Structure 1
Amino acid sequence: DGKGVPIDGAPGLLVANLNPEEAAREYRESVIGPYKGKLPESVIANMEEQLSGSCTVEIAAFDQFSNFITDKTTENEYDYIIFDTAPTGHTLRMLQLPSAWSNFISESTHGASCLGQLAGLDAKKSIYKEAVLNLADKEKTTLILVSRAAQTPLLEADRSSLELSDLGINNQLLIINGVLSEASDALSKIVMDKQQNAIKNIPQGLKRFKIYTLPLRSYNIMGLDKIRTFFTSDHFISNGAGEKSVDLQPLSALVDDIYTTGKKVIFTMGKGGVGKTTIAATIALSLANKGVKVHLTSTDPANHLEYVIAGSTNITLSKIDEKQELLNYQNEVLTKARETMCEEDIAYIEEDLRSPCTQEIAVFRAFAEIVDKAEDKVVIIDTAPTGHTLLLLDSTQSYHREVQRTKGETPISIQRLLPRLRDEKQTEVVIVTLPEATPVFEASRLRDDLSRAGINNKWWVVNQCLSMTGTTNPMLVARAEAEKQWLEQVRSISAGNFVAIPWLQDASVSNISKIGVVL
């Protein structure tokens, strides 16, 4: 209910459990409810989907968050208010745009009906303004960026930091979590060297802030005792987790299933840094070695995939330049918008085009064109649209069909691909995750979102499993033991349709040919 609950054993500590998903649902209903029965079903469906993405959840979270940081009673009652999340730059920029607050139903250039993301919250405009001012006040607020000691998370932290700095929020510091402090075997030395290399090459933008490191612990930080112990000591509890875990299938089981079922469109899906490109490339090479003609498509900006097709006659390769595709799409949408819209509305469209699902749509359009031209091949891509993006495309298509407009209509290639994606005989979305709490939770949410869009997911890949390495380092052995509950969780979610991959010394795309042999 958003109210703090006292915690036994920690005098002065109150915890409030906010639920932005539920808040987003209530908000969506309050905005769309008045239009039900007055507008066609296709328009209502499109409006609902526009307000079903991550941006709406962020705004709902900001709504709850702003109540805490602007309430004078709360400010006087507590010495510190700590949140485990923060608004993104995109959300904060949206708050500054007049059209984001308006209930306007008009023909949109990149959707059907266009609805301000903040429609229905006009009464809270002054509260939100004060919340943003408090965020930028270095006397009141510190924003803590948290990252792992790895290249991808540090780059993401840098991107978030720059976005917030552009909005005047410079009171930041960086915490690098999970740093291994001692090495006692070959694997732990490799892990430690990789982490130290990532820290040494930290993005320039983050170097202007204070940087703290926190040690890797052998246990999950849950419960008061573990939290209190975290800063002072560690202990290792193990029962031989360094031995290879039983009953885990290799990647070849997944490849064999794709081969025998004859699926034609394969996505690898997951959060950043879980190994989507490596897994996609390994599947591509494995199928090619079975004589299948494969077209591998990647959004990886590096040229690593050239290594995959070297020496293989059955693989062709194409790269999607995400930045260029996004720019092309943004220009196309804005050119059309300027024909009919005022400057305020165009400013809103410009910001809306910076949302995560806009990039997904731009990349998906490029991918749809590739699939359309490669009907005789198995097409594999190292990224996948969320269920929300697919439903947004779907509802937009339905809307255009109903009002019989063709200008700006969903491209033919996407119209052809959407039904194929729902055909489990043709399409496989492989979810890639890590054997840890947050990655498994996030992957599970991705799967739920796919189900909402009618997209089947059969296979999961659990990557970077320490429990399959035979490590003898006490810390890594204890971490390996902790992995087992998440492997079992994935086993349950996937009904046993998952494969596990050990933590590899060189899991780079350039090492794919060797990885395929190992797995």
Structure 2
Amino acid sequence: MPEPTLQNIVDQKELKWIFVGGKGGVGKTTTSSSLAVALAESGTRNRVLIISTDPAHNLSDAFRQKFTKTPTLVNGFTNLFAMEVDPQPDMGEMEQLEWAQDSFLTELAGSIPGIDEAMSFAEVMKQVQTMDYDTIVFDTAPTGHTLRLLNFPTILEKGLSKLVALKGAMGGMMGQMTRMLGGMAGGGEAAADLPDQLLGKVEGMLDVVRKVSAQFKDPLLTTFVAVCIPEFLSLYETERLVQELAKFEIDCRNIVINQIIFPESVGGSRLLDARVRMQQKYLDQFYELYEDFHILQLPLLEEEVRGPEALKAFAVNLLKPYVPSPPADAAAREAALVAEVAALKKRVAELEAAALAVKK
């Protein structure tokens, strides 16, 4: 059975793109942030970038630091950067992109479903590729949005390839028409060169898209970490995600199961005991379906994981199997609760006395 940790990702130094995704509310941001922290502190990467592509950005909350669409150094680190990108930019932002300076390409973006988001994503990928990062971690949106994002290279490649093919089939006719119209309008040779200039831009973008698409399909360069919880809907969503990733030829060999209640923490609670039994049923199904995956179990925590120090502490659980603390002795636990109640009563009495003194 594969090791139940994400150590295989840290050890694979060639990895360039790491996507972390799953159903909403399963702990994707905590997992992706902790993984980015683990990579940055591993000593195997000089520079790590984590990007949020979820419209409901949570990276700023996770690190307790405001991030924007420009990479920002994370407080407490020298080699970890973060940025939040909206994969669905408004029209004002789209007009600033290089491809949008051409009215023809702008019309194209409005005529092919999904290509506006795809072109925006391609622009982000183009910018990121020019930056000097060893590994880029994507904190993605819920499953459906993520699958569309991963399909952007295919959408773009199909759309732009049709344009290039159109040039090949009608290049001569387009050139003659442009020269004729350019001559009539006084544009001359500059107008005649317009189709070549335009399609040169398209071919340049297509080249970037093909490189990204090839890298996404290379398991040495790209992997996807599925995050879930031990419940029916999350199990179903994970299965759909894994199947779709296989269709896209994107490597997925790690599953993180969050919010597990371990038997050791149940105590005498019948409710928790019932949840443990329910979760175990779905955990068994995960292991049956994904016997050749690295499956990592993480506990349901008493409080949120927020801030660099909390993320560093939580990141340890990604690199070695989580071992729950042994159950406390019942008598000792009862004594601790009695002492806690006594301390609270004493504090209440002090506050009441202070309140009476103020009234006098």
- Name the residue aligned to 1:288: 40
Contact 1:268/1:431 (<8 A) preserved: yes
CA distance in 2, matches of 1:265, 1:297: 11
Are 2:89 and 1:321 equivalent residues in the alignment? no
1:260–1:401 CA distance, 2 compared to 1 (3 A) = farther
- Name the residue aligned to 1:271: 23
Aligned AA (1:317): A
Which of 297, 300, 303 in structure 1 is aligned with 2:60? 303
Tell me the SS of whatever aligns to 2:265. Answer: coil
Are 2:144 and 1:392 equivalent residues in the alignment? no
1:68-87 aligned within 5 A: none
CA distance in 2, matches of 1:321, 1:248: 36
Contact 1:431/1:460 (<8 A) preserved: yes
1:440–1:406 CA distance, 2 compared to 1 (3 A) = farther
Greater relative contact order (CA < 8 Å, ≥ 6 in sequence): 2
1:377-456 aligned within 5 A: 377-383=134-140, 384-386=146-148, 388-404=151-167, 405-406=199-200, 410=205, 412-456=207-251
Tell me the SS of whatever aligns to 1:310. Answer: coil
CA distance in 2, matches of 1:374, 1:339: 27
CA distance in 1, matches of 2:127, 2:105: 30
- Name the residue aligned to 1:261: 12
> How far did residue 509 of structure 1 move?
4.0
Are 2:277 and 1:487 equivalent residues in the alignment? no
> How far did residue 274 of structure 1 move?
1.7
Aligned AA (2:255): W
Q: Larger helix proportion, structure 1 or 2? A: 2
Contact 1:329/1:362 (<8 A) preserved: no
Contact 2:160/2:202 (<8 A) preserved: no
CA distance in 2, matches of 1:403, 1:307: 50
CA distance in 1, matches of 2:63, 2:264: 28
1:504–1:305 CA distance, 2 compared to 1 (3 A) = closer
> How far did residue 380 of structure 1 move?
0.8
Contact 2:230/2:283 (<8 A) preserved: yes
Identity over aligned residues, as a percent? 22
> How far did residue 322 of structure 1 move?
4.3
- Residues 45-78 of structure 1, C-alpha deviation per residue, up to 9 Å, x if partnerless? xxxxxxxxxxxxxxxxxxxxxxxxxxxxxxxxxx
Contact 2:258/2:298 (<8 A) preserved: yes
Tell me the SS of whatever aligns to 1:462. Answer: strand
Q: Is there any run of 5+ residues in structure 1 with no aligned partner, and where?
A: 1-246
CA distance in 2, matches of 1:337, 1:415: 22
Aligned AA (1:314): N
1:505–1:248 CA distance, 2 compared to 1 (3 A) = farther
Contact 2:89/2:120 (<8 A) preserved: no
1:508–1:456 CA distance, 2 compared to 1 (3 A) = same
- Name the residue aligned to 1:465: 260
Contact 2:27/2:258 (<8 A) preserved: yes
Tell me the SS of whatever aligns to 2:274. Answer: helix
- Name the residue aligned to 1:505: 302
> How far did residue 447 of structure 1 move?
1.6
1:28-43 aligned within 5 A: none
CA distance in 1, matches of 2:161, 2:52: 29
Contact 2:119/2:156 (<8 A) preserved: no
CA distance in 1, matches of 2:262, 2:272: 9
CA distance in 2, matches of 1:339, 1:273: 36
> How far did residue 414 of structure 1 move?
3.0
Q: Is there any run of 5+ residues in structure 2 with no aligned partner, and where?
A: 66-73, 141-145, 168-198, 319-360
1:395–1:486 CA distance, 2 compared to 1 (3 A) = farther
TM-score when normalising by structure 2: 0.61
What is the count of residue pairs matched by the alignment? 260
Tell me the SS of whatever aligns to 1:429. Answer: strand
CA distance in 1, matches of 2:2, 2:266: 17
1:38-437 aligned within 5 A: 253-254=5-6, 256-262=7-13, 263-291=15-43, 292-293=45-46, 294-299=48-53, 300=57, 303-307=60-64, 309-322=74-87, 324=89, 328-329=93-94, 336=103, 349=111, 352=113, 359=117, 361=118, 364-365=121-122, 367-383=124-140, 384-386=146-148, 388-404=151-167, 405-406=199-200, 410=205, 412-437=207-232
CA distance in 2, matches of 1:327, 1:279: 33
1:457–1:334 CA distance, 2 compared to 1 (3 A) = same
> How far did residue 306 of structure 1 move?
4.2
Aligned AA (1:395): K
- Residues 78-117 of structure 1, C-alpha deviation per residue, up to 9 Å, x if partnerless? xxxxxxxxxxxxxxxxxxxxxxxxxxxxxxxxxxxxxxxx
CA distance in 1, matches of 2:106, 2:29: 40
CA distance in 1, matches of 2:252, 2:223: 6
> How far did residue 476 of structure 1 move?
2.5
1:433–1:362 CA distance, 2 compared to 1 (3 A) = farther
> How far did residue 367 of structure 1 move?
4.2
1:408–1:428 CA distance, 2 compared to 1 (3 A) = same
Contact 1:433/1:461 (<8 A) preserved: yes
1:496–1:429 CA distance, 2 compared to 1 (3 A) = closer
Contact 1:390/1:453 (<8 A) preserved: no
CA distance in 1, matches of 2:289, 2:35: 22
> How far did residue 491 of structure 1 move?
2.2
Tell me the SS of whatever aligns to 1:489. Answer: helix
The higher radius of gyration belongs to 2
CA distance in 2, matches of 1:265, 1:481: 37
CA distance in 2, matches of 1:501, 1:370: 35
